[in-house]
Amino acid sequence: MADEEDESPETELSYDQKKEIAKWFLLNAPAGEINYVAKDLKAVLSDEEVYNEAAMEAFPVYNKSHMICLEMPNRAGDVIVSSYSEITENEYLDPRTAQVAIVDHVKQICTNVRPADDEELPSSYIEEFRCALDAEIQRYVSESYPKGVSAVNCVKGKDADGPGSNFEFVVIITAMKLSPQNFCNGSWRSVWNIDFQDESQVLDIKGKLQVGAHYFEEGNVELDAKKEFQDSTIFQSADDCGIAIANIIRHHETEYLAALEVAYSKLPDNTFKDLRRKLPVTRTLFPWQNTLQFSLTREVEKELGLGK
């Protein structure tokens, strides 16, 4: 009786606490998996109001951070949802087609499209450089990413009408490979800021790459690799700038992908050894020289004495 009195009752979470927890799960969903998380979250919460408010706040942030690509109505093209193309909370510019997509973030669909206004588009001088770069990036992406999409947005100085002005582009490259039936999903996101400095005749290039992968067959393994780059080239004609920038991006991304492949080819010899103690509960040394023969499921569990 005394023990029962000493036990403090569980405190019910407040509305805001439930909403923040729900948002955390949604925002941290792996690439392409937010709808699966949302479905389970909705069932667990059993509170339509909390879920709807959390979803309304989380989905726009998730969609922009993952730079999802949506098809516009009437086969008008595709639009990448990102902070660089955002006009309003639900409107995103596709600079390639000069159209603005109206987006339903929670449903992750494009509901309508309209022509971009003149003030939403760059000047003809800036557009010449943007188009030249866009064409080179499209060529690179089509050769390197089977399901990749790209966009080139002007984020500064879009009204410049001729030489003598500074301006800045952002190159977005995003690719996803979703295979939930095989328990794995993956994504590639890269953002490149190109700062055109007219006075010094230099282009400063800064890039951020993020590679994600989620493997969840009989387990839950997630990769989240990030890398930053910095480079430069000279200010040239629009066509020459496009070629030079695309070659720099190709070089760094290809080099990083090769480095990832080398790193993961060494997993059995290096990383796996650091994950476990030398003597598992069986008191038997693990045969590290033959780790390639094991899968990361029952065989490893059995060898490490983790099986039931």
What integer pLDDT is reported at residue 42 of this predicted model?
Answer: 92
What integer pLDDT is reported at residue 105 of this predicted model?
Answer: 97
299 pLDDT tier (thresholds 50, 70, 90)? very low
Q: Among residues of the chain, what percentage have pLDDT more than 90?
A: 69
Burial class of residue 136 (count of CB atoms within 10 Å of its CB; 0-12, 13-18, 19+): buried
102 pLDDT tier (thresholds 50, 70, 90)? very high
Strands 148-156 and 109-115: unpaired
Q: Pick the range with the lowest mean pLDDT from 126-140, 159-173, 232-246, 279-293.
A: 279-293
Nearest residue to 254 (alpha-carbon basis) of 132, 145, 134: 145
Nearest residue to 204 (alpha-carbon basis) of 245, 163, 161, 173: 245
What integer pLDDT is reported at residue 303 of this predicted model?
Answer: 42
Q: Is the pLDDT of residue 99 over 80?
A: yes
219 pLDDT tier (thresholds 50, 70, 90)? confident
Give the integer Cα–Cα distance in Å for 78 and 76.
7
Q: Is the pLDDT of residue 159 over 50?
A: yes
What integer pLDDT is reported at residue 302 of this predicted model?
Answer: 47
Residue 305 token pair: 């004495």
Give the integer Cα–Cα distance in Å for 147 and 174.
9
69-81 pLDDT tens trace: 999 998 778 999 9
For range 94-120, the mean pLDDT: 96
Give the integer Cα–Cα distance in Å for 120 and 88.
11
251-281 pLDDT tens trace: 999 999 999 888 877 776 666 666 555 555 6
What integer pLDDT is reported at residue 266 of this predicted model?
Answer: 74
240-250 pLDDT tens trace: 999 999 999 99
Query: Of 294 and 172, which is predicted with more confidence?
Result: 172
